[in-house]
């Protein structure tokens, strides 16, 4: 049986779900947050140590300004209301991505959330915000140049946003879209990838556990026999 240490999820389909319900994209984003809560609880239950959630990509800035504003307001409210729940569940929060472009208010909220939970030893949630792998790779290489490090696999890995975080065992993408969308391309080199037809708000604990159980029976060779 394969042990699961890290699950990464591309949470796709919120906007389409909202339209499907004859409501707004923002309605879909709000409902998608309820799925996030359920999957966090189920990840804790399964004793998985890392959960990475792709919340906002470097490409998502192309979306309407009103939708972007709503998304970040939703995030601010979630962290404000749920930070005590994260503490009770012994959950550590880490933000991965380029935070420089965010408002001072959001940067402060993110920093405080990371600081408050930094000593928690249970599940670590890596929230990918303004994240894109191509930018992450440039970030890693620039750090190596700055500190005169040799460019090799180990040093690139050690200087990514995900330094000290094991690579995902599983990558899940909902939304009936079979692509990776510039997400953790280095880290998922040997991840088992599951594309799910359901839109993110419809993704259930049962769906999640089905993937976990399927992963347990996969023979993983990592290039060997």
Q: Which residues are known to be catalytic?
A: 12, 60
Best CA proximity match to 83, nearest among 127, 50, 48 = 127
Question: With contact defined as beta carbons under 8 Å apart, do 153 and 37 qualify?
Answer: no
Alpha-carbon gap, residue 122 to 177, rounded angstroms: 32
> Which helix (H) or strand (E) is 67 found in, with range?
helix 65-88
Q: Please classify residue 33 by burial: count the beta carbons closer than 10 Å to its beta carbon, then call 0-12 exposed, 13-18 middle and 19+ buried.
A: middle
* Contact (Cβ atoms closer than 8 angstroms) between residue 65 and residue 138: no
Return the structure tokens found at 106: 């959001």
Residues 6 or more apart whose Cβ sits within 8 Å of residue 76 = 105, 106, 109
Residue 176 has phi, psi (to 5 degrees) of 60, 40
In the block, tokens 């005590």 appear at 84
Are 12 and 202 contacting, i.e. CB atoms less than 8 angstroms apart?
no
Phi and psi of 10, rounded to 5°?
Answer: -95, 105
């Amino acid at each position: 049986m394969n042990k699961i240490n890290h699950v990464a999820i591309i949470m796709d389909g919120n906007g389409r779900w909202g339209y499907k319900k004859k409501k707004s994209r923002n309605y879909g984003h709000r409902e998608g947050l309820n799925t996030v809560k359920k999957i966090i609880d189920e990840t804790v239950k399964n004793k998985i140590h890392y959960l990475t959630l792709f919340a906002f990509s470097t490409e998502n800035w192309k979306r309407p300004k009103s939708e972007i504003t709503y998304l970040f307001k939703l995030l601010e409210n979630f962290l404000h209301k749920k930070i005590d729940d994260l503490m009770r569940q012994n959950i550590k929060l880490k933000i991965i991505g380029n935070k420089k472009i965010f408002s001072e208010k959001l940067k402060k909220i993110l920093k405080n959330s990371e600081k408050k939970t930094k000593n928690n030893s249970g599940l670590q949630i890596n929230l990918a915000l303004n994240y894109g792998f191509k930018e992450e790779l440039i970030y890693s290489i620039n750090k190596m140049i700055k500190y005169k490090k040799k460019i090799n696999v180990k040093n690139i890995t050690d200087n990514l946003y995900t330094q000290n975080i094991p690579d995902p065992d599983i990558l899940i993408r909902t939304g009936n879209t079979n692509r990776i969308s510039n997400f953790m391309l280095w880290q998922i080199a040997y991840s088992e990838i599951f594309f799910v037809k359901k839109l993110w708000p419809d993704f259930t604990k049962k769906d999640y556990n089905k993937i976990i159980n399927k992963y347990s029976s996969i023979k993983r060779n990592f290039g060997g026999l």
